[in-house]
Structure 1
Amino acid sequence: MNRVEDSYLFCRRDFLGALGAIGLLALTRSDAWTGSMETSEFLSSFISFDLEIQKFMQARNIPGAALAVVKDQRLVCARGYGWADRESKIPVKPTSLFRIASITKPFTAVAALKLIEERKLSLEARAFDVLASGPDTLHPNGEKLDERWKLITIRQLLQHTGGWDRDKSFDPMFRSRQIAKELGIASPPAPRDIIRYMLGQPLDFDPGARYAYSNFGYCVLGRVIEKIAGMSYERFVQNNVLAPIGIKRMRIGASPEHKRAAGEVRYYMPHDEMAESVFDSSPSIPRARSETRNSTAGNPRPTPPVEGSVASESHSQFPSREGSGAGSARGTRKTEKQVPWPYGGFCLESMDAHGGWIASAVDLARFAAALHDPERCPLLKPETFRTMHAPPQPPVSRNQDSSLKDHYYGCGWLVRPVGKEGRANYWHTGSLPGTYTLLVRRWDGVSWAVLFNQRSDDDKLPDSEIDPALHRAANAVTEWPKLDLFPQYR
């Protein structure tokens, strides 16, 4: 057994003893707590993270979580908390795989920006000109095309300014049965079927006129990547984004529970809610997977911070919940068409490019570390790196006096400028029935990823509370360890 496996278990008795020794809150539940604990100094440095996560989980009765913290590109903390599988008493490890939902979008954005660096694509290219070329041309489903579709650019897809507003119309990524019925095909529809259906719908606003978070826009972006790269979206990301930074286990997840990947957690609902299955038969091998193995995130509404919500410059600010749209129905008993909501209430494979990946907290920490320094980024050139974080073109994300708002959505990242020296915090959340995730990159070199295998459905206990909680935890660290745990997690 290697050092990581030897060290990842941190017994509850020792943890309680450490808490008692410094007069802090003790655990009250019988959760298993796991993590990579190197020294007593290491423990005391990160007790603030342990306490905040414990408090958050216990208030919501969340079975399991994983945390990874980076300081100046060094992995300084990797923890598992609670149960990966509550029924089988399998604890979460730092390497446990979770659905990351909309944290998929930063990976998709980097993939698109790499194609732009290689001059195979441009930010101002019109997305549907790209998709309309070749033998597999996309056509509307017998409906008249809204001419504004032809104007949508790659930049607008990346920045959620393409013209779709799910609050005015709907999110097609959660309308599998309706779309399949109208197209006369089996459910769930594949991404290209969803696009074909949507081409018959009018846009909600002129492209580039304003911001509205859109899972569908990233679904389109995934198909653009496939078209230009000549391979599946998943394979392109694995070869060109993940492999160069040493991430080996990330993949597009599977909808059915029996298709869980090795080391993947189970997903839970607070009250064991059921949903109508989007699969015409048992969700074993969804069509979308055999087509392109794609998956983007039909996220539980990960919209960028709502304007006017409270968030200081040290907070990340969260998108709202997703996966609660049409096609999902709560119930108390299981019928032939009802399934546990995380396992067939939506088609994860069809969400590949906006919310379909599974990853560990350590995987996300590697990604964050790779994006720490624009001058030494192994994925993007400095100018592309800056483009990724640049604000949208006016009038998007501007106040009435034309000044930039306190936060905005760049290319795959939410951005909050901090001070007047060009510093900023970057983050993304992910949310689906059964999972809630957060990835933060702070201006001071501190980054973290936290993953949960249940999301809250209680408006009085919003998932977004984990954001300021972990900022508090990071601010409470007085001395960062000098170690680097990345070499232990190969």
Structure 2
Amino acid sequence: MPLTGVRIPVMRAFPSSLVLLLLVVLAAGQVQAQTVDGVEQAWRAWAAQYGRKTSGLAVVHGGRVVREAAMGREAVGEPVPVASLSKAVTGVCVAGLIDRGQLSFETPLSQALAKTMARVGRPVDPRLSTVTISQLLVHRAGLARKDIVNAPLADYLRTHTARRTAFDVQLGWIFRQPLASQPGTLNVYSNAGYLILGAVIEEASGRDYESYCRETVLLPLGARTAELNPAWRIMSSYGGWRMSTADYGRFYQAFAPGNPAIGPQARAWMMSPEGKRVGSGGVHYGLGTFVRPTPTGGGNFWHWGAWTYNLQGAYDGTLNASYSVFAVRLGAIDTNMVVHIDPRLDKGGATGELDRSLGRAAEAVRNWP
């Protein structure tokens, strides 16, 4: 029966060479997605989506650096500041002192800082002397939400350099403030708590914070570019470290199961959520980083850091800084990823999207170098 007004589609034969080319292109894209190239592509796509032109990436798999990349003003292998990712360095350094019997998780500050308090003075709130190392590590020391160590910083930096640590001065700022809550009760993220831990490291080791943590933690893990940022050493144990993204990835391998940087006692404490939970969803805070235990691989670890500062007329001249940094360890695939971003990334959807994009790309890899 004839069909009127109906167009019959005509199948056109494509040249076999074009079909072959399309198949090759599709296969190449699939192969890239299954290699570490896919992680770099995810990072670059994220940067393009959020208008970020200066950034750096490092990927560590099985303890080996398998990818380094940079864009804009950043260069591969160049040390970058890591802000609050410094807290994990402090946490692992404290863990070493505990594993060697020089401290315990339950040591109170009245013992851990006995010499320092004799020099600086005792806290106005006697409860601070009872705060333990464990409570400081997990942000449950009762310290105020207001950042005690950064609030007076501008006045201090107008007459003093930011290029030297100043533990005694900053402890004085903390010791003159009453606690906001009973120690051990509330989780309140605090730079002040990790500043105190830096002073604890100095008293327990008899060494300066930087050289002790560098020699006992960072160098053994292969983080050879690690140092306190020469322009911001004042931030020391809570935000002062800088190193290449690859070296931070090497350091983050400390959290791999069995890595000797964290001994059995400290590792058992770190992985237990008791007294460390942060919100819901099985997340807790451990040695300067967030932890989510997993059935395999010893758990996932992550932390964001950021620093923005603009002060004219400072002792060192104009002080300008703006950046963000992110580190994540996916234990089941033994992979660490570190991203540095300049300028600072505002909180919001971009942070979560970077985390998800990197995670999906890394989990899709089937052929690691």
TM over 0.5: yes
User: Aligned partners of 1:453 and 1:426: how far apart in 2?
Assistant: 23
Selected match of 2:150 from 173, 178, 186: 173
> Do residues 200 (structure 1) and 176 (structure 2) align?
yes
**Could you say what secondary structure the match of 1:227 adopts?**
helix
The answer (yes or no) to whether the contact 1:177–1:187 under 8 Å persists in 2 is: no
User: Aligned partners of 2:136 and 2:263: how far apart in 1?
Assistant: 21
| Shift of residue 227, structure 1, vs aligned partner | 1.0
Identical-pair percentage: 27
| Shift of residue 462, structure 1, vs aligned partner | 3.6
* 1:475 counterpart residue number: 363
> Do residues 253 (structure 1) and 229 (structure 2) align?
yes
Higher helix proportion (structure 1 or 2)? 2
Selected match of 1:219 from 192, 195, 220: 195
* 1:31 counterpart residue number: none
Distance 1:23 1:41, change over 3 A: closer
**Could you say what secondary structure the match of 2:293 adopts?**
strand
Code of the aligned partner of 1:71: H
Distance 1:439 1:41, change over 3 A: same
| Shift of residue 422, structure 1, vs aligned partner | 8.5
Superposed CA RMSD in Å reads 3.0
Distance 1:45 1:355, change over 3 A: same
* 2:338 counterpart residue number: 449
* 1:45 counterpart residue number: 35
The answer (yes or no) to whether the contact 1:64–1:83 under 8 Å persists in 2 is: yes
* 2:80 counterpart residue number: 98
Distance 1:463 1:422, change over 3 A: closer
**Could you say what secondary structure the match of 1:162 adopts?**
coil
Which sections of structure 1, spanning at least 5 residues, go unmatched? 1-19, 26-39, 85-91, 256-347, 484-490
> Do residues 229 (structure 1) and 210 (structure 2) align?
no
The answer (yes or no) to whether the contact 2:256–2:298 under 8 Å persists in 1 is: no
Alignment of 1:47-446 (within 5 A): 47-84=37-74, 92-93=75-76, 95-133=77-115, 137-139=119-121, 145-166=124-145, 169-178=146-155, 186=160, 190-255=166-231, 348-374=232-258, 377-393=259-275, 397=277, 405-418=281-294, 423-433=298-308, 434-444=322-332, 445-446=334-335
Code of the aligned partner of 1:203: L
User: Aligned partners of 1:23 and 1:474: how far apart in 2?
Assistant: 19
| Shift of residue 47, structure 1, vs aligned partner | 3.5
| Shift of residue 411, structure 1, vs aligned partner | 2.2
The answer (yes or no) to whether the contact 1:388–1:412 under 8 Å persists in 2 is: no
The answer (yes or no) to whether the contact 1:392–1:409 under 8 Å persists in 2 is: no
User: Aligned partners of 2:129 and 2:307: how far apart in 1?
Assistant: 31
**Could you say what secondary structure the match of 1:83 adopts?**
coil
User: Aligned partners of 2:219 and 2:59: how far apart in 1?
Assistant: 21
| Shift of residue 244, structure 1, vs aligned partner | 1.4
User: Aligned partners of 1:60 and 1:22: how far apart in 2?
Assistant: 27
Structure number, greater radius of gyration = 2
| Shift of residue 132, structure 1, vs aligned partner | 2.8
* 1:305 counterpart residue number: none
The answer (yes or no) to whether the contact 2:95–2:263 under 8 Å persists in 1 is: no
* 1:33 counterpart residue number: none
Calculate the TM-score normalised by the size of structure 2: 0.80
Distance 1:100 1:50, change over 3 A: same
The answer (yes or no) to whether the contact 2:86–2:240 under 8 Å persists in 1 is: yes
User: Aligned partners of 2:192 and 2:148: how far apart in 1?
Assistant: 7
| Shift of residue 78, structure 1, vs aligned partner | 2.2
The answer (yes or no) to whether the contact 1:116–1:123 under 8 Å persists in 2 is: yes
Q: In the TM superposition, what whole-angstrom CA distance separates every residue of 1:168-213 from its partner, at most 9, and x where no partner exists?
A: x3442243135689xxx75769232121122111111111112111
Distance 1:398 1:159, change over 3 A: closer
